[in-house]
Amino acid sequence: MNILVTNDDGIDSPGLRALALELSKIGNILVVAPDKQQSGVGTSVSFLRENVTITEISSFFTGIRAYAVSGTPSDCVILGLRRLAQGHIDLLVSGINVGPNVGHDIPYSGTVMATLGGYFRKIPSMAVSLAIRNRLSSMQFESAAKVAASIAEKINNGTIITDAILNINVPDIAPELIKGIKVTRTADFGYVQLGDARILNDTSIGRVNQPPVEDNTDVWAIDAGYISITPLRMEVTHHELIPSITESLNGLNWGISTAEKEAK
C-alpha cells in the first residue's frame, strides 16, 4: 500500500511525524508537506503565481521519503501525486492537525482541503485532526495516529469502501477515556465563533457562546469523548435547483429587444 501523507502545520509538526511513523507499519510512506505553517489556507494553490521549491528531508525517519515544499497543502498533494510518487498512490492522509476541523470550519481547513487532490482522482482520502482544548495539553498524537492506521487498514483490505473524504476528529484525551467511534454529520457552526475569538489567547482553543450542539454531529461527538468520522463529498452543483431555475429563466431576453436581435 502506497500512502501519501501531508498536513498544513508544516514538515516539523509532531502530528505529521506521529502519523507517518504509524502508517509506515502498514505501507510505503511518501511525506510531502509545507516547509512552514499553512493553517487556514483552504484550497489555496500558490505555484500558479510563484515558484515553489522542493527540499528532500533526509533526517525524517528511516525508510520514509520526505519532502518540504515552499507552498500550500494543495501544492504538496499535487506535487506528490504528479512528480514525487514512485508508482500509484493508494491512500492520501492529511494530518494530524493541531485542533479540530469540524462544522463550518471545514472549508477553510488546509488539512481537510488538501485531500481534494486525492478525492477528485478517486484516491481514498482522509483528514485527521486532534481536537485539543489547550495548546499546553499533552497532545495525544499517537492515539490519533493509531486511529488513522486502523481506518487505513480497513480501506486497504476493502472493509471500508467509500468515495467520500473521511474527516476524522479525535478527542485529545487519554486513550482509555475515549468512548468509541461515531459516524457523524457536520455541525451547523464552527468550533470557534469568530466574532468572539478575540477573547481567546495563544494557549487555548475552544468554542465561545456556542449554539446548542445537536446529537450525532462532529462537535457533539468529540465533546462527548467519541472519535468523530464524517464522510464528506465535494459535489458543488445543486442539482435539485436546476429545473426550477431553468423554468424561471424561460423567456428571459436579457433586455435585448427583437429589433436589436435582428439588427445583429
CATH code of 2-237, in short, is 3.40.1210.10
Mean pLDDT of 43-62: 78
**Which residues, 6+ apart, have CB-to-CB distance to 4 below 8 Å?**
30, 32, 77, 80, 81, 85, 89, 91, 92, 93, 118
| % pLDDT > 90, the chain | 63
Among 148, 154, 146, which Cα is nearest to 174's?
146
Is the per-residue pLDDT at 198 higher than 60? no
C-alpha torsion sign, points 110, 113, 117, 123: positive
Q: In the predicted model, is pLDDT for residue 199 greater than 60?
A: no
Q: What torsion, rounded to 10 degrees, do the Cα atoms 51, 57, 58, 63 define?
A: -110
211-227: pLDDT as tens digits: 678 899 999 999 999 99
CA distance 154 to 158: 6
> Could you give the strand order of the β-sheet that contains 226-232, starting from the edge strand earlier in sequence?
54-56, 65-69, 28-34, 2-6, 91-98, 125-131, 165-171, 226-232, 180-183
Predicted model pTM: 0.85
Cβ-in-10-Å burial (0-12, 13-18, 19+) of 85 comes to middle
In angstroms, the CA 35 to CA 11 distance is 6
